[in-house]
Structure formats: structure tokens, C-alpha cells
Amino acid sequence: MRASRCIAASVLIASVLAWSGCGTSGGTGGRLEGIRWVLKSYDSKGVTREAPEGVSIDVLFKGGNVGGFSGVNTYHGSYKLSGSSLSIGELASTEMAGPPDLMDNEQAYLAALQRTSSYTADTSSLTLLDQDGKRILEYTKGKTPSLTGGTWEVISYYNGRDGIVSVINGTTLTALFSGDGALTGSTGVNDYRATYKMEGQKISVGPSAITTNRSSPDPAITQQQADYLAALQLAAKYNIQGERLDLLRADGGYAATFELAR
């Protein structure tokens, strides 16, 4: 009788551990939220791969919302946290196209992220583990950029006709938001200057003035300059995820997207 009770108790304990996600194969927890974590390596079909060079893939957990930059697009979703157990819900992302290798990396990264079952975090690193206790994602602690924290390089912009378009190859468009309300940068042809106002996540940009006198023989590049400056004035809200900045129009669509210049 005593033996059968011991067996029953053992079965019960095992069942509770399995249900709760606890056990020796899981993570140990730690401070996870409110920190920008930059990807170091990820699991792709059982193979550990290093994060692609020159691309800052990251994640931020805060208040039940998770998001970041996945190499080409930004993504967001929800998560649940209980002790060292961590589950991530379905993720949504923007639909920008990129180089095939980065697109493949992005898909593998997001797939690994959704297999997360537990985590271990310390002052400088974060490890996410799957339900078998295997390390699937490793991050290092990164800095959290601010709007005024550096020069932003344009990835795409709203041209008012065809929607969001990528920057023409061989041209570089930039934006530098100063703390005094000045916005300066390059249109790919000329330098420009404008003013902006910010309140919380709201932002408004005034008309831009061209401060140089250069021209391009390519009409498409000249048109890009005009369209980009017009897009800036449509900005009503901004959002920063890792090293990516999105300026959003009043209807929620994109005005322009940027990445932090290196």
C-alpha cells in the first residue's frame, strides 16, 4: 500500500511539473522586461547560426507586448510570463522585401522566437529555450536608441502615388532630429532643414527648406527628393523598435521608415 502511494505521488509531481513548464531543463528566469536585447545567435532547423553581420536584430518585452526588428521587417505580438516560463503569441510584421539571405534569416528567427518556452537572463545576456530545454535564441544587452540619439537613414517612404517605395539604389537619404526641434539631413541630392514638434509618441514636421543648390541628371532621383520631403510632413506619430524608426501618417500608414546609421 505504501509503495502504491509513493508511485501515485511521484506521478502527481511529474504531472504538475510538466503542466507548469518547470524542471531542470527549463530556464532560470531573471530580469527580462524593459531591456532591448540584440540577437547573437539563433536556431535554424537544429543548427545554431550567428546573427547576420551588419544587421541589428533585436527584441523588447514590455507590458505584455513584444516587438523588434527581425532583419528586414519590424514585428510585434504578445507574450505571457510566469516565473521563468515564457510563451510568445502569434507575431505580425511589416511586409518589406529584402535580400533573400536576410529574408531566410528573418523567417528562421521569428519561427524560433515562437517556440520559446522559458528563459534565462542576467545583467548582460538573455537566452530563450524551447520546451525541451534547448537553447534556441541568444541575445546580448543593447542600448535603446532615442529619436535624437543619432542619424537615421531612410529605408522607404510614402510617395503619395504608389504607396511605400524603397530608396533608389546608390542614393542615401537621412534625418537627424536635434534636441532643439531642428530636423536636418540629406535628400540624396541636397541637404535640407525643417523643424519638428514632439509630444509623447506624437510628432509633426514643418515644411523643409533646401540648404544647398545641387541637381541630379536623373529625374527619378529629383522626384524622390520631392516625395521624401512631402512624406516627412505627413508624419503624425513615431515608433522606435531597436534600431528602426517608423514615422506614421494620421491614418496609421507609413510616412517613412529608417534605420540607425552606423
In a domain, 201, yes or no: yes
Alpha-carbon distance of 177 to 261, in angstroms, equals: 13
Q: Are residues 105 and 37 in the same domain?
A: yes
Q: Are the CB atoms for 137 and 50 separated by under 8 Å?
A: no
Q: Do 40 and 105 belong together in one domain?
A: yes
Cell 543548427 appears where? Answer: 47
DSSP 29: B
Which residue in this structure is represented by grid cell 503569441?
Answer: 89
Looking at the domain assignment, is residue 14 inside a domain? Answer: no
Question: Is residue 20 domain-resident?
Answer: no
Distance, in Å, from the CA atom of 160 to the CA atom of 132, rounded to the nearest integer, reads 49
Q: What are phi and psi of 157, to 5 degrees?
A: -155, 160
In a domain, 146, yes or no: no
233 and 128 fall within a common domain: no
Residue 246: strand, helix, or coil: strand
Cβ atoms 164, 171 nearer than 8 A = no
* H-helix or E-strand spanning residue 105: helix 100-113
In this structure, are 121 and 61 located in the same domain? yes
β-sheet bridge partners, residue 61: 66
pLDDT at 146: 86
CB 47 within 8 A of CB 108: no
User: Is 19 a domain residue?
Assistant: no
User: Same structural domain for residues 251 and 164?
Assistant: yes
Q: What is the largest CA-CA distance in the chain?
A: 95
Name the 3-class secondary structure at 223: helix
pLDDT given at position 255: 96
Do 96 and 189 reside in the same domain of the chain?
A: no
Q: What is the pLDDT of residue 7?
A: 33
Q: Are residues 164 and 200 in the same domain?
A: yes
Residues 137 and 47 in one domain: yes
My answer on whether 112 and 184 are in the same domain is no
CA-closest candidate to residue 51, choices 38, 61, 68: 38
The CATH number of the domain holding residue 228 is: 2.40.128.270
Q: For residue 8, is it within any domain?
A: no
Give the end of a domain, one of 141, 162, 180. Answer: 141
Amino acid at 177: F
Q: Do 125 and 161 sit in the same domain of this protein?
A: no
Q: Which of 107, 141, 175 is the last residue of a domain?
A: 141
Q: What pLDDT, on the 0 to 100 scale, is given for residue 25?
A: 66
What's the pLDDT at 262?
A: 66
Indicate whether 184 and 111 sit together in one domain.
no
In which domain, by residue range, is 76 found?
25-141
Domains: count for the chain = 2
How far apart CA 239 and CA 117 sit, in angstroms, is 28
With a CB cutoff of 8 Å and minimum separation 6, the contacts of 171 are 188, 189, 221, 224
Type of residue numbered 212: T
5 inside domain: no
- Tell me what pLDDT residue 10 has: 36
Residues 130 and 163 in one domain: no
Q: Is residue 11 part of a domain?
A: no
The three three-digit cell numbers of residue 232, written as one number: 516627412
d(CA 168, CA 156): 9
Per-residue confidence (pLDDT) for residue 161, from 0 to 100: 87
- How would you write the pLDDT of the chain (262 residues) with one tens digit per residue? 434 333 333 333 333 333 333 334 689 999 999 898 999 999 998 999 999 987 889 999 988 999 888 988 888 899 999 999 999 999 988 777 888 999 999 999 999 999 999 999 999 999 999 999 999 999 999 877 789 988 999 999 999 988 899 999 999 999 999 999 999 999 999 999 999 999 989 999 999 999 999 999 999 999 999 999 999 999 999 988 777 899 999 998 999 999 888 6
Phi and psi at residue 144, to the nearest 5°: -100, 105
Last residue of a domain, which of 98, 115, 141? 141
